[in-house]
Amino acid sequence: MSQPKVKRRIGKYEVGRTIGEGTFAKVKFAKNSETGEPVALKILDKDKVLKNKMSEQIKREIATMKLIKHPHVVRLNEVMASKTKIFIVLEFVTGGELFDKIVNHGRMQEDAARKYFQQLINAVDYCHSRGVYHRDLKPENLLLDASGNLKVSDFGLSALSWQIRDDGLLHTTCGTPNYVAPEVLNDLGYDGATADLWSCGVILFVLLAGYLPFDDPNVMNLYKKISLAEFTCPPWLSLSARILITRILDPNPMTRIIIPEILEDEWFKKDYKPPVFDENYDTNLDDVEAVFKDSEEHLVTEKREEQPAALNAFELISMSRGLNLGNLFDGEQEFKRETRFSSRCPANDIINKIEEAAKPLGFDVRKKNYKMRLENVKAGRKGNLNIATEVFQVAPSLHMVEVRKAKGDTLEFHKFYKNLSTSLDDVVWKTEDDMQEKK
C-alpha cells in the first residue's frame, strides 16, 4: 500500500472509496475540498444510461430530489456532468440503514418504532404535497443520520405528478414485492399516495414485529397474501398499534386510511413533534437538462493525481460503524452486505490470501492494484454473486480490508464470508483481549 495510487478529483470534490453500487450507478464517498464537507457522490455512465433508455428515469430522480428539501429526506446538493459521466452530489448520511438496526437488534419497542414512523410519515406527507411518490419505500431505503434521525433515500423509482395519466392513476409496476400495495400488483392503475402508505404500513409492522407481514417463497402465494391482506399481528402489540396497522394494510385503496387520518390517530399522536424547517426550495431544473448536454460551459473536469492509498482520519471514522478490529465475522454482522477487518500483514499477502481462499469456493478473481472483484461462476438466487474487496492503509504496518457484496443475494454473501473467515484466521489482526477470549 506504500506504492502510489491514483487519486481522483471531480471539480471541487476529492473522490474516495465506493460505498454502494447498483445496475446503473456507483456511489462514492467524496469530500468538498473547499469546505471539507463529506458527501455521497452518485456516478452514472452516460453511454450506459442512453443505451438502456434510462435518461428519463435519471432526470426524474434528479428532478425529484431537487423538489424536496426536508429534514427527513436525503438532500441533493448539486448535479454535474463530464463528457462521459453524470455526478449527483448527495448528503452523506453516517448512521447506516434502518434495515441493519432491525436485523441486528430485532423488533423495537413501540416508543422507538413510533418515532421512526412519525418521521417517515412526515417525510412522505411532504413529498406527496410536492407531487412526489417514492414507490419503493422499505427499511433498506431508510437511512439514519448521526443523531439517529430518519432520512428517506433512493428516489430512483419515484414518480412525479406529471406522469399521472388522464385517469388520475400511475401505471408502472415497481418496488420490492413484500412492500408493494395490492393495487400496484393488479396492473389496473393506482394512486401513488395510497400505495406509498401501504408500504409505510408494512414498514411499521416490521419495526414492531421484527418480521414481514407478507412473506412466501412462492411469488404467486405472496401476491395472493398481499391481495387479500392475509397477515396476523403478533400478540405483544398494543391494541391501538394493531388498529392503526390494520387500517393502513387495507387491501382496498378507496377505504385505506389517509395521512390526515393517521396524524389524528391515537397511537401515532403520542409525543408527536413535527419538524420545524425552512420550506424555501430551489425549483430551477435547468441543470437537470444541462447534465445530458455536451456544451463545454456545463462540463466539470475530472483530474487524476497520484498519492498513497491511505485512509485519513475522517474516512476511518466514517467506516468505523462496522469496524471491529478483533473480529471479522461476529454475530452482529450476520446479514450485513459488507464487513471490514484489520490486518498487520503486508497488503500483497492479504490480496493473495483472499484469492487463494476464493478460488476453491468457485469464484473468478480479478485484481487491480489493491482492489479485487470476485464473481461466482454459478448463478445463485439473485444471479451471480459479486464481491468487491479493497485494502486500505491505516498506518505503515496496519491495513484495513473491506469485503462488500456488489451484486447477488445477501444470504449467499453471508455464507461466502463465513467460509472465507476460516481461511483468513492467520491474516486478521487479533488484539490481546481477543486472544484471552479464545483461551
- Domain assignment present for residue 132? The answer is yes
Q: Do 35 and 182 sit in the same domain of this protein? A: no
Q: Do 114 and 243 sit in the same domain of this protein? A: yes
Q: Do 219 and 184 sit in the same domain of this protein? A: yes
- Domain assignment present for residue 178? The answer is yes
Q: Would you state the pLDDT for residue 64?
A: 72
- Domain assignment present for residue 281? The answer is no
Residues within the annotated binding site for ATP?
Answer: 42
Does pLDDT of 439 surpass 80? no
- Domain assignment present for residue 135? The answer is yes
Q: Would you state the pLDDT for residue 157?
A: 37
pLDDT band at 271 (very low <50, low <70, confident <90, very high): very high
Residues within the annotated binding site?
Answer: 42
Pick the last residue of a domain from 204, 236, 269.
Answer: 269
Q: Do 185 and 85 sit in the same domain of this protein? A: no
Q: Do 111 and 201 sit in the same domain of this protein? A: yes
**Domains in the chain: how many in total?**
3
CATH code, domain carrying 350: 3.30.310.80
Pick the last residue of a domain from 75, 92, 109.
Answer: 92
Task: State how far Cα 5 lies from the chain centre.
Answer: 28
Instruction: Name the range with the highest mean pLDDT among 66-75, 278-287, 290-299.
Output: 66-75
Average pLDDT value for the chain: 79
pLDDT band at 176 (very low <50, low <70, confident <90, very high): low
Q: Do 340 and 413 sit in the same domain of this protein? A: yes
Higher pLDDT, 338 or 400: 400
pLDDT band at 304 (very low <50, low <70, confident <90, very high): low
Q: Would you state the pLDDT for residue 138?
A: 83
Pick the last residue of a domain from 242, 269, 296.
Answer: 269
CB 385 within 8 A of CB 317: no
Taking the CB of residue 410, how many other CB atoms lie within 10 A of it? 16
CB 143 within 8 A of CB 75: no
DSSP per residue over 281-344, as a string?
-----HHHHHTTS--GGGBPPEEEEEEE-B--HHHHHHHGGGB-SS-SS-GGGTT-SEEEEEE-
Instruction: Name the range with the highest mean pLDDT among 79-88, 262-271, 319-328, 415-424.
Output: 262-271
Does pLDDT of 270 surpass 90? yes
Q: Would you state the pLDDT for residue 294?
A: 60
Q: Do 322 and 401 sit in the same domain of this protein? A: yes
pLDDT band at 410 (very low <50, low <70, confident <90, very high): confident
- Domain assignment present for residue 346? The answer is yes
Q: Do 142 and 166 sit in the same domain of this protein? A: yes
User: Which segment of 136-145, 158-167, 217-226, 393-402 scores lowest on mean pLDDT?
Assistant: 158-167
- Domain assignment present for residue 403? The answer is yes
pLDDT digits (tens, 9 = 90+) for 1-25: 344 456 688 888 989 888 777 666 7
Task: State how far Cα 415 lies from the chain centre.
Answer: 21
Q: Would you state the pLDDT for residue 239?
A: 96
Q: Would you state the pLDDT for residue 315?
A: 61
Domain with 23, as residue range(s), is 4-92
Phi, psi of 376 (to 5 degrees): -70, 130
Q: Do 406 and 353 sit in the same domain of this protein? A: yes
Q: Would you state the pLDDT for residue 283?
A: 60
Does pLDDT of 214 surpass 80? yes
Beta partners for 402?
A: 340, 390
Q: Would you state the pLDDT for residue 156?
A: 46
Catalytic residue set: 136
pLDDT digits (tens, 9 = 90+) for 247-265: 999 999 999 999 999 999 9
User: Which segment of 127-136, 153-162, 391-400, 415-424 scores lowest on mean pLDDT?
Assistant: 153-162
CATH code, domain carrying 155: 1.10.510.10
User: Which whole number is the average pLDDT over 72-80?
Assistant: 86
User: Which whole number is the average pLDDT over 101-119?
Assistant: 91
Q: Do 25 and 127 sit in the same domain of this protein? A: no
Residue 22: enclosing H or E segment and its boundaries? none
Q: Do 394 and 416 sit in the same domain of this protein? A: yes
